[in-house]
Structure 1
Amino acid sequence: MTTTTATPRTLPAEWRDFVELTKPKVMRLVVFTGLCGLLAAPVTMHPVLAFTAVLCIALGAGAAGALNQWYESDIDAVMKRTRSRPLPAGRMDRESALHFGVGLGIFSVLLMGLATNWFAAGVLAVSILFYVLVYTVWLKRRTPQNIVIGGAAGAFPPLVGWAAATGQADLLPLLLFAIVFLWTPPHFWALSMFVRSDYAKAGVPMLPVVAGVGATRVQIVLYSLPMAAAAVAPWPLGLAGAVYGLAAVAFSLIFLALAFRVLVNRSAEPAEMKPEKQLFAFSILYLFVLFGALVADKLLMP
């Protein structure tokens, strides 16, 4: 008598699965910072072209998210918070995800170049390739510095938005890039501290897994300090006015206070990591407020 093992059949993917493949929750912040970079630029774009530029940023981010899930389907299947995604849940085959991600990425770059300028399209292409090749393929499974270096991928959108409007890069969008780049490690390390068992199970060398929660708390503070300095810098440099400056100072002080609360917390149990969870939640609000204040500053104090 012979026995056979049934292989789970991949179900036909629905449109909702393709939307989920783009990581829409992550995309919201990407689109917002890209839009703010565009609106903060010293030129006014035609509304249709501005909408197209922001759409391209969204599509580019979606492409990067889809390719990330295509490559990491094995990790996602192990981790509790990701195992319901379309690929590990068996609602989509990997080939469809790959084709979708590549097609979306190429389309977003070409449309950006045709609708705005090829410098912006080039920066968008670099951002997609950096997230997929540098962060996802090269860094994430190899080093606890994955978030530090890979954070550059999420820092590109305001630079892309500015480039779409002006066709060049200037000091202010470079500072916006630096803010998001320095913000990314505290943001993700705060999250990874109370889900580190998931990362450990999947073999991902996040900092709390390989260095421990104590070292991670120190690193959160060390990155929060230059982040706050970069956030405030546009005001004294004359690149933004008091509306932005006061918001940046106030919210950066709150961010630092929460980071120091994380530092003094001695618990290694996820259930007792309230300061870490508060910092993670506030870090999202922080970026929304900071970039929103930059646009408000331009509108109220032209």
Structure 2
Amino acid sequence: MQAADAAGGRAGEQHEAATWRDVVAAYVGLTKPRVIELLLLTTVPVMFFAARGVPDLLTVVATVVGGTFSAGSASVFNCVYDRDIDEQMRRTRRRALPRHIVSPRAALVFGAVLAVASTAVLWGFVNGLSAALSLGANAFYVFVYTMVLKRRTTQNIVWGGLAGCFPALIGWTAVTGSLAWTPVVLFLVVFFWTPPHTWALALRYREDYAGVDVPMLPVVAPAAEVGRQVVLYTWATVATSLLLWPVAGTGLLYPVVAVVLGAVFLVEAHKMWGRARRSDELSEIQPMRLFHLSNLYLSLLFVAVAVDPLLFIG
């Protein structure tokens, strides 16, 4: 109890020393804006594709606002639960909770407010199905990935990554009010893309994860095995991306872009695997090359999803 009081005192002292700009930046940081950007990137293009053109502007704005609140809420809850390990990892020790700029209780309230606001916006201005999918993704990320999978299995990011696939479904249902095979294909693209993307980053920070006993694949398996798994999932990603052409009846723009991007993604994945088989040193493996390329791959692929119906070169 005395230790807790002392910790609370330190938190209060550091909070008082922080400026209002620091506090605002800390709350924004809790929502992990870069993750939100990526999730919105897989939401809005699907809305264009579902509308086969430019969707209703109010629907887009409401979906973006509701999706931002939902993803931000999930990230806040994740930061609260993981604050013990975040304080020990180089990549995360500068977050708001490890620095005691925001208290865990205040963060929980903030996360709950965002969750309620997200559901209200999506339910009131979009539709009930989109609101339910968003709330379900939020709950899955917090209760299944963060609280159950992350610290217990090497498959944490494979199944936990399902939460990050839901924006494709939400973007589609926001426009159509129903589900179909097209958003399911895009859901699977993100599902297969997540392990190579995340394992590349985890390979870079494997010592951090090992230090806090989080069994990410690069912690428990040799780099060569990680590279092999990355290659398998990258092939699955590219193959699934090409399914959109026959399933959704796209124009020629999308499959051409998917083939070119897929080839580049595969080449880099194979190169990383080759480097990992020759050496276990991070300076030799260069996993961040694949990490950054994977971001570019998904971004440009979904841009093609949005642009294709506007051009429809078929």
Residue in 2 that maps onto 1:23: 32
Give 3-state SS (helix, strand or coil) of 1:284's partner: helix
Q: Indicate conservation of the 8 Å contact 2:11/2:103, yes or no.
A: no
1:153 corresponds to 2:155: no
Residue in 2 that maps onto 1:179: 189
Q: Indicate conservation of the 8 Å contact 1:172/1:239, yes or no.
A: no
1:85–1:238 CA distance, 2 compared to 1 (3 A)? closer
* Structure 1 segment 62-211 matched on structure 2, within 5 A: 62-211=72-221
TM-score, normalising length from structure 2?
0.91
RMSD, aligned CA: 1.5
The separation in 2 between residues aligned to 1:83 and 1:72, in whole angstroms, is 11
Give 3-state SS (helix, strand or coil) of 1:142's partner: coil
The superposition leaves residues 71-99 of structure 1 with CA deviations (integer Å, 9 ceiling, x where unpaired) of 10001001001000000011111001111
1:229 corresponds to 2:228: no
Give 3-state SS (helix, strand or coil) of 2:77's partner: helix
Match for 1:9 among 3, 8, 11?
A: 11
Q: Indicate conservation of the 8 Å contact 2:186/2:244, yes or no.
A: no
Match for 2:288 among 259, 263, 277?
A: 277
1:242 corresponds to 2:244: no
How many residues get paired? 297
Residue in 2 that maps onto 1:291: 302
Structure 1 residue 271: deviation in Å?
2.1
Give 3-state SS (helix, strand or coil) of 1:82's partner: coil
Unaligned residue ranges in structure 2 (runs of 5+): 17-21
Q: For residue 224 of structure 1, what is the amino acid of its counterpart?
A: T
Percent identity (aligned): 39
* Structure showing the higher helix proportion among its residues: 2
Structure 1 residue 171: deviation in Å?
1.0
The separation in 1 between residues aligned to 2:84 and 2:237, in whole angstroms, is 34
Residue in 1 that maps onto 2:19: none
The separation in 1 between residues aligned to 2:6 and 2:112, in whole angstroms, is 31
Structure 1 residue 57: deviation in Å?
0.7
The separation in 2 between residues aligned to 1:217 and 1:229, in whole angstroms, is 18
Give 3-state SS (helix, strand or coil) of 1:90's partner: coil
Report which stretch shifted further, 47-56 or 277-286: 47-56
Report which stretch shifted further, 229-238 or 93-102: 229-238
The separation in 2 between residues aligned to 1:22 and 1:105, in whole angstroms, is 12
Unaligned residue ranges in structure 1 (runs of 5+): none
1:301 corresponds to 2:303: no
The separation in 1 between residues aligned to 2:121 and 2:71, in whole angstroms, is 14
Structure 1 residue 238: deviation in Å?
4.5
The separation in 2 between residues aligned to 1:237 and 1:14, in whole angstroms, is 47
The superposition leaves residues 58-83 of structure 1 with CA deviations (integer Å, 9 ceiling, x where unpaired) of 11110011010011000100100100
